[in-house]
Structures are given as structure tokens and as C-alpha cells.
Chain A
Amino acid sequence: MAGVAHIPQPDAASRLLAAQAERARQRRRTRLFLLAPGLGIIGIFGLFPLSIALVYSFLEPGTYGGVEWTFSYDAYVQFLFERDIFDDTLTFNSAYLQIFGRSFGLAITTMIGTLILGFPVAYFIAARPQEQRNFWLFAITLPFWTNLLIRTYSMLLIVRDEGFVNLTLMNIGLISEPIEMLYTDGAVLAGLVYSYLPFMILPIYASLEKFDFSLLEAGHDLYATRTQVFRHIIIPITRPGIAAGCVLVLIPALGAYITPELLGGGKKLMIGNLIALQFGSGRNWPFGAAAALILMAVVLIALLVSLRAGASKEGGHG
């Protein structure tokens, strides 16, 4: 083409810009295309049911379960107040708050328990030679091969009055009568810690895996005691892993259903059991939906606050 030589410089530049813009558009399209399946699944199985729950929570319960299509925010009122059957006056009722409190207490205790037990395990694996680590990681994931329900049932068999622990202790003469372990808070806690321990170990291991162990020597060399090395070097560097592990344990532990039901005997209601109850024999779907949404809101707010706190702490180091 004869014209090529006469194309002025600015035109070439603008063509280059256009080509770059086109490529950026293409990249965006590719990204969207790759994201689509994931977004689809989240949309269909996450957001859609959540919307249903949101809508249901503002309706009235049907007599035999289900909902009546009448707008009402009674479900949310019911969470904090009791409505008098005769004159409709509201009196404060802390029963459900207590259930929330108990669940949070149990979940936080579970989180602390898994952290205390899980951190040394993660550290142990990370300190193994490379070729041994896969074996230990495999061992950690082994429990997932069996259904949680079955594992929880087997715990029930171990801790019940005629279970393995009590029989062994009685046989060696340490105790004369079985210790009541099943259907106690301790049993529920043990079950939850056992169930969620891998979720604490794996993220902490991931953050320790890249850990440069010569930093420990550097710390000791610079007059730090073992405790100080742990506090000033190991903890801050593995903080992201610890935070991830805590979130991964705390949230499912809050909504735990099977473990409190089987090992706690359902004697004390937890959030999960409360919600399940409303959709089952309680026949109050709006209240169940409202309780689930309140739980979600509380967790979200707690997470955002802790994230913000973590971020400002990071900034403080810089």
C-alpha cells in the first residue's frame, strides 16, 4: 500500500491504543467466560435460596408448615419479644438470644480448641522434610473419607456409659461407675473440635509451608527467647493462615447441627437445631428463615469488623 508511508505518527498511536483497548475487552470477555460456571452455581444454589429465605422471613407461617403470603415482620419481632396471646402486648424474651449466645460460646471455644491443637500439628508437618509432608497431609484429610454422621455416631459409641472409654477405665479400676460423658457440653465440644480440626490445620500449614525457618535462628541470634520468637516472628507471619483457619472453623461450628444433636442429645438448643426445628416440627418457616438470616448478618458483621481490625494492624507495621 502506497499510503502506509504517509500515515502520520498520531494516527499510528491511536491505532495502537485502539488495538490495546480491543485486547483489554477480549481479556475481560475471557475472564467473564471463565467465571460464568462458578457464578452460575453460586447464583442458583446460593443467592436464589437465600432470596427465598429472605422473602419467607417476611411472611406468616402456615398452619401445617409452609407460608401464608401475607407480609409480616413478626418473625423478627418474635426473635426478641414474646407476644401475649390475649392482648398482643410484647414482653422481652431472651430465650432465643440465649441460644445464639450459647452457640457463639460453643463455636468460639471450638475455634480456640482447634487452634491450640491444630497449630502444633501444622508446625510439625511444615517442619518435616518435603517428601514426608504429603504423607502427613494425607493423614490429616483421612477423616473426610467417612461421612461426618458416621464419624459422629462412632464418637457416641466411644463416650457413652457402656462405651470404650468408660469400660476401659472401669476395667483397670480407675473408676467404679461410668462417668457421664454423652449428652454433655463437653461431648459436643469434643465432637466439634474433632470434626473441624482439619479446617484449622490446613490453612495454618499453608502459611507455614513457605515459612523460612532460618528466621527462627535470626530471632534467637538477636536475643529473642523462644517465647519471643514465637510471638514476634512465627505468629505475625502466619497470621493470615490463623485467621483463615479461625473463620473456616467458627462459621460452620456456629451452624453445627449433627454434632449437638447426637452428642448433646438435643438437650440444649443450638442455632442450627433451632432453625431445623422451625422448618420441622415447629412449623414456623418464617421464624426459621429469620433466625438463619440473623445468624448470617451477625457473622458477616463480625467478619467485617475483624477484617478491618486486621487490616489496620497490618498498616501499623508498614
Chain B
Amino acid sequence: MIDVKNVTKRFGEGQAAVTALEDVSLTIPEGSFFTLLGPSGCGKTTLLRLIAGFELPSEGEIALDGESIGHLAPNNRPVNTVFQNYALFPHMSVARNVGFGLEMLKRPKAEIDSTITEMLDLVQLGEFATRRVDQLSGGQQQRVALARALAPRPKVLLLDEPLSALDLKLRKGMQSELKRLQHETGITFVFVTHDQGEALAMSDRIAVMSAGSVRQVGTPEEIYTAPKSRFVADFIGDTNIVNATLLGFDGDAAKIRFGEGKPLTIHTASTLLEPGPVHVALRPETIRVVEESAETALLRGEVVDSTYFGAGSQMLVRLEDGVSVHVQVSTPRPVGSRVGLECDTSMLHVLED
């Protein structure tokens, strides 16, 4: 288990200092596939490098299984990294690359040799042991990098956007491969990516980051269906953000209403908000189109566009206050017609900002 406690990381000194991470706290459960997700510059790679030991925190503490590791050198941490550009040693064979960590740990030769064989089999590169790394394809180099980082049996494996250099088809294959490896080895994987699809597909838990802080941590389902903030809702998948008025709280349920409509009671994770105008997120696939006059309609508007995409159509509906909403339907209404939109109130989420 990794405990990141109030970690701040600044680069540079004084006036020119840039804060890459601001008071980040995070718990990464043991044996989980944990993803740090965010746009470039959000600090996710910095956090990974802090865990690896390539950077030291300006403030705060990082602990692994209760032991503080925040100020140890990388070679003293039971943590290994798969680099974005793989960083394989070009002057060594595939086998020596894989065995390098154990060699540095001064393990017996027999153990090193058997681990190399085992690891190369694990990543299905058994027959490539004697090759030079520059004779391998990008996908194969990726697997060597994985085998090299797994060979010393680290407690935590860090992966810095390892799939970004691969083409789409290889990437899909490596996604399930990584899941399999994580499952078979039981090692905690900390995976950095800016690709929300990748994060949703692979992770046990996701931490969504932006501008140097963690915005939300949860399972892929939680992150997708119950985004806490406008940023998370926007960043993960397609989402609609509509205006509403928060009337107040009733226990842990919030009372809101759209425009002049009737008050609705919805669950919310946050009771910190002040009554007044708020944003509400709703996913395109949870919305149903009904007649404008229907009693159940929560929102009303005019169809302004409709796009066919094979499995269905995506309609763009402009609401009365000018906000546009995407709706997925099987049979679209004609452009220009007025429609009502309804959805289960459990699918509505009040956003914090």
C-alpha cells in the first residue's frame, strides 16, 4: 500500500518556482491496478516520479507499507518503472536487460538466469533472449521493458504512459496483456495516462488529476457515473452539463430544479454547496426523448442537429437557456422539432464547480 500524504512538489526557486503538485494526498491499495489520469501538465507524471524517487517532494511524505520512502534514492526503493520511451539499454541483449536489476542486487547467477527465462515467457518473448534490443519492434521493446521492471519482483510497478507510443491495435492488445500481468503477479500497478478510455478499461481505481491536485478518486464506475466536479465530468467520456438551481439539502439528498420546473430530489456526494445556481451532469446515453408536453420531461428544447453513427444517432438539443445537450437515440426526431428530455433522477449529479 502506498500512502501519499500532503505532498507538494515545486520546481525552481523563489519567484520562478512552478508548483507541479499542491498538497496531494492519496492511498493506493496493495495489489490494485491504480491509474493516475489527467491532461498533460496536471502533475500525474511528477507524482509517479516522486514515487519512483527520481524527484524528491518539496513537502509531505510518501510511505510504502507504512515505511517512509519519500527521501530514498531510486535504487533503494522496491519500486520499478516502465518508461514512456522504454529506456532499454542498447548495448545489452534482451536477456541482460531483463536480468539487470537482479544483477545489481547481486543475486546468484542461477536465480538471475531462471528469472530471465520466467519473465521472458511471461511476456511471450522466450525466443528473443539473445537478440539486441534494437532488433525488436516497438511492441516487443515494450514487453522487454515490462519484463525488465517485473524481474526484481518490485512491490510496486510504475508505468509512465507506456502505451502511448504504440499504434491503436497494439495498444488494445497491450491493455489486456497488462491486466493479465497485474493479475498474475499480484504486484501493485500505478499507471499514468491521459487517455480516459484506457483508464476506464484497465483500472481498479482511478485518480483524476488536474492542475497539480487530485480531483476525484474512485472506481471507473464511480468516476464515470458520479463525477463530483465539472472537470471530472468533462474529462471522462461524453457528458452534458446543464444549469439548475440548488434549493437546499434534505439529509444527504439535494433538492434542485431545472428552470421553473418542479423540484427534484437527487443524491449527492457533496453537501458543501451553497443554495443557488449549480451545474448538473448527465450522460447522453441515460437521457430519453419524450414529447415536449410529457409530464415526466425534465428539460425541454429544440432539435438542432442529428448525426447517424451506425449503432444509433446522436441528437443535439438546444435547451431554452441556450445550453446544448447531446442525446443518444435509436430513432432521431427531425431537426427543428421540439422535444422533452427525461432521465432517472439517480443519473443526475450536482457538480461542485
Contact = CB atoms under 8 A, between A and B. Distances in A.
B73 A214 contact: no
Interface stretch (B4-12, B98-106, B161-169, B295-303): B98-106
Interface string A101-120: 00000000000000000000
Q: Closest 6 CB pairs between A and B?
A: A222-B101, A218-B87, A220-B74, A223-B104, A214-B87, A224-B104
A222 B54 contact: no
B90 interface: yes
Interface in B41-62: 52-54
A224 B92 CA distance: 15
Contacts of B148: 222
Given A237-B89, A318-B130, 10 more contacts: A217-B54, A217-B87, A218-B83, A220-B75, A222-B101, A222-B149, A223-B152, A224-B75, A225-B75, A233-B89
B85 A217 contact: no
B91 A217 contact: no
Interface residues of A, number: 19
Contact of B81 (A215, A221, A228): A221
Interface of A: 212, 214-215, 217-225, 228, 232-233, 236-237, 317-318
B91 A221 contact: no
Q: Choose among B54, B85, B104, B130 the residue with the greatest number of A CB atoms under 10 Å from its CB.
A: B104
A317 B73 contact: no
A223 B75 contact: yes
Main SS class of interface, A: helix
B93 interface: yes
Contacts of B81: 217-218, 221
B132 interface: yes
A309 B86 CA distance: 31
Contacts of A236: 91
A318 B93 contact: yes
Q: Choose among A212, A214, A221, A236 the residue with the greatest number of B CB atoms under 10 Å from its CB.
A: A221
A232 B75 CA distance: 15
Contacts of A224: 75, 100, 104
B314 interface: no
Contacts of B188: none
Contacts of A233: 89
A212 B93 contact: no
Contacts of B52: 217, 221
B203 interface: no
* Interface size range on B against A: 20 to 34
Contacts of B79: 221
A225 B104 CA distance: 8
B239 interface: no
A218 B130 contact: no
B148 to A, nearest CB: 7
Contacts, number: 69
A212 B85 contact: yes
Contacts of A237: 89-91
Contacts of A215: 87, 89-90
Contacts of A212: 85, 87, 90
B105 to A, nearest CB: 5
Given A237-B90, A237-B91, A223 B101 contact: yes
B80 interface: yes
A228 B149 CA distance: 18
Q: Choose among A218, A225, A232, A237 the residue with the greatest number of B CB atoms under 10 Å from its CB.
A: A218
Contact of A222 (B53, B100, B132): B100
Contact of A317 (B83, B88, B91, B104): B91
A79 B89 CA distance: 50
10 contacts: A214-B85, A214-B87, A215-B90, A218-B83, A221-B54, A223-B75, A224-B100, A224-B104, A233-B89, A317-B93
A223 B91 CA distance: 18
B74 A217 contact: yes
B138 to A, nearest CB: 15
A226 B79 CA distance: 17
A217 B49 CA distance: 10
Contacts of A214: 83, 85, 87
A170 B281 CA distance: 83
Contacts of A225: 75, 104
Contacts of B105: 223
Nearest to A216: B87
A219 B92 CA distance: 13
A317 B91 CA distance: 7
A217 B100 contact: no
Nearest to B106: A223
Contacts of B54: 217, 220-221
A222 B88 CA distance: 11
Given A221-B75, A317-B92, A228 B104 contact: yes
A215 to B, nearest CB: 5
B284 to A, nearest CB: 41
Contacts of A222: 75, 80, 100-101, 104, 148-149, 152
A4 to B, nearest CB: 44
Contacts of A232: 100, 104
Contacts of B53: 220-221
Contacts of B90: 212, 215, 237
